[in-house]
């Protein structure tokens, strides 16, 4: 085999290298796909508590993808350069973090510490996938990044909310103390293919109920609101945030879709999109369930080259429902 040319060696040496913690998860796998499509070499980390091999199986044999099965709460050793560290490792649904409350707190604290340590050692830029849950049951609507939140620290959702709030604080501490270039994205409700059928979030719950002819479970009177962003729109915004050179980009940025629906309206949209004959049933509202959730994305639009969601709800639901038809 002929030796690589000087140009080939130069191209390889300048290829950006990204570490994605949580690479086998719903969002982590979509991020990995985008990074590979944009010329990155990706090192994926996951311990499969909530991730799935199926989400990254299509990457088998890809020379630009390497996978390491690891819990990121433990020391991360990589004997190679790294340009970007993306911390997406965490249970992210009520079913998951109620089943794994301690693991959720550990990955938000120890996992953030270890991934930040990797970024510091390698001189890499770091991004933490935070959440709209840090706003709790908000008293401000829509939610801006300057809002400090209304969180029940000892409630059943506290393990997730406080893990992410701590992760944000630690990220800013590393930025201020060690000069690590950091990014914090606050992710609002996102949906799309590769969500787990029974992960407890409303999109897979409603779709699976509709596809199997079961009643759709709406909590309370269904007047609580959510906004839903399709996964490709979210990942594009997150990518732009990591690459943004603005001096204020180290402060939190909301990324989501500001189009707002009540849960009752959303249930009706799912029934229509699936062609289901399912009815809607009402059950008591869970403790600390937010009454309103809608991002103010003014800051994202200003920082991220006029980024805004592109995929209409009907189109996103069509793709998501097609994925779930093969799972029920």
Has residue 290 been placed in a domain? no
The CATH number that applies at residue 45 is 3.40.50.720
Is residue 58 in some structural domain?
yes
Residue 263 inside a domain? The answer is no
Q: Is the peptide bond before 142 cis (omega within 30 degrees of 0)?
A: yes
pLDDT, tens digit, 9 for 90 and up, residues 256-284: 999 999 999 999 999 999 999 999 999 98
Whether residue 282 lies inside any domain: the answer is no
pLDDT: which is higher, 238 or 3: 238
| CA–CA gap between residue 280 and residue 218 (Å, rounded) | 7
Residue 270 in any domain: the answer is no
pLDDT of residue 123: 98
Active site residue 230: no
pTM score of the predicted model: 0.92
- Arithmetic mean of pLDDT, 193-218: 92
φ/ψ of 185, rounded to 5, equals -110, 130
Does 321 reside within a domain?
no
27 occurs within a structural domain: yes
Of the residues 160, 174, 191, 230, only one is catalytic, namely: 160
Does 328 reside within a domain?
no
Mean pLDDT in residue range 312-317: 96
pLDDT digits (tens, 9 = 90+) for 138-188: 898 899 999 999 999 998 889 999 999 999 999 999 999 999 999 999 999
- In this model, does residue 201 exceed pLDDT 80? yes
Judged against a pLDDT cut of 80, whether residue 288 lies above it is answered with no
Helix (H, G, I), strand (E, B) or coil at 215: coil
Q: How far apart are CA 241 and CA 183, in angstroms?
A: 7
| Residue partners of 75: CB distance under 8 A and separation at least 6 | 114
Distances (CA, A) of 96 to 93, 115, 160, 193, 266: 5, 22, 10, 18, 23
pLDDT tens track for 60-81 = 999 999 999 999 999 999 999 9
What pLDDT score does 12 carry? 47
Q: Under DSSP, is residue 254 helix (H, G, I), strand (E, B) or coil?
A: strand
Specify the pLDDT at position 1.
40
What confidence tens digit (pLDDT) does each residue in 221-246 have? 889 888 999 999 999 999 999 999 99
180 contacts 116 by C-beta, under 8 angstroms: yes
Q: Is the confidence at residue 3, as pLDDT, over 50? A: no
Provide the strand spans (E) within the chain.
17-21, 41-46, 65-69, 84-87, 125-131, 182-187, 190-191, 216-219, 225-227, 229-230, 253-255, 260-262, 280-283
Is there a contact between 115 and 90 (Cβ–Cβ < 8 Å)? no
What is the arithmetic mean of pLDDT over 29-39? 98
Q: What are phi and psi of 260, to 5 degrees?
A: -115, 135
Looking at the structure of the chain, the number of domains it has is: 1
Contacts for 313 with CB less than 8 Å, ≥ 6 apart: 228, 259, 261, 269
Round the CA-based radius of gyration of the chain to a whole number and report it.
20
Give the integer Cα–Cα distance in Å for 190 and 168.
20
Say yes or no to pLDDT of 7 above 60.
no
255: which residues sit within 8 A by CB, 6+ positions away?
Answer: 185, 186, 187, 188, 229, 234, 237, 238, 241, 295, 297, 300, 307
> Other CB atoms closer than 10 Å to residue 2's CB: what's the count?
4
Which residue range is the domain that position 302 belongs to?
14-195+231-257+295-310
């Amino acid at each position: 085999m002929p030796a690589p040319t000087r140009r080939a060696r130069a191209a390889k040496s300048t290829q950006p290298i990204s570490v994605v913690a949580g690479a086998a998860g719903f969002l982590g796998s979509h991020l990995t796909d985008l990074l590979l499509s944009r010329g990155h070499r990706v090192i994926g980390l996951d311990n499969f508590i909530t991730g799935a091999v199926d989400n990254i199986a299509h990457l088998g044999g890809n020379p630009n993808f390497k996978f390491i099965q690891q819990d990121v709460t433990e020391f991360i050793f990589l004997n190679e350069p790294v340009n970007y560290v993306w911390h997406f490792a965490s249970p992210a649904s009520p079913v998951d973090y109620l089943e794994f409350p301690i693991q959720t707190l550990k990955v938000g604290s120890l996992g953030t510490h270890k991934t930040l340590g990797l970024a510091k050692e390698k001189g890499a830029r770091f991004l933490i996938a935070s959440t709209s849950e840090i706003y709790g049951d908000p008293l401000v609507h829509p939610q801006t990044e300057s809002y400090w939140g209304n969180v029940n620290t000892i409630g059943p959702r506290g393990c997730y909310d406080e893990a992410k709030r701590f992760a944000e604080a630690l990220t800013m501490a590393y930025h201020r103390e060690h000069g690590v270039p950091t990014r914090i994205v606050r992710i609002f409700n996102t949906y799309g293919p590769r969500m787990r059928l029974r992960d407890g979030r409303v999109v897979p719950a409603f779709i699976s109920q509709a596809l199997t002819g079961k009643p759709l479970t709406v909590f309370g009177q269904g007047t609580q609101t959510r906004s839903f962003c399709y996964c490709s729109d979210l990942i594009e915004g997150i990518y732009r945030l990591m690459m943004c050179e603005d001096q204020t980009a180290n402060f939190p940025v909301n990324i989501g879709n500001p189009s707002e629906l009540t849960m009752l309206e959303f249930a009706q949209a799912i029934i229509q999109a699936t062609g289901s004959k399912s009815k809607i049933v009402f059950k008591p509202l869970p403790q600390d369930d937010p009454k309103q959730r809608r991002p103010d994305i003014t800051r994202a639009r200003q920082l991220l080259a006029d980024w805004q969601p592109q995929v209409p709800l009907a189109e996103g639901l069509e793709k998501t429902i097609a994925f779930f038809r093969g799972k029920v």
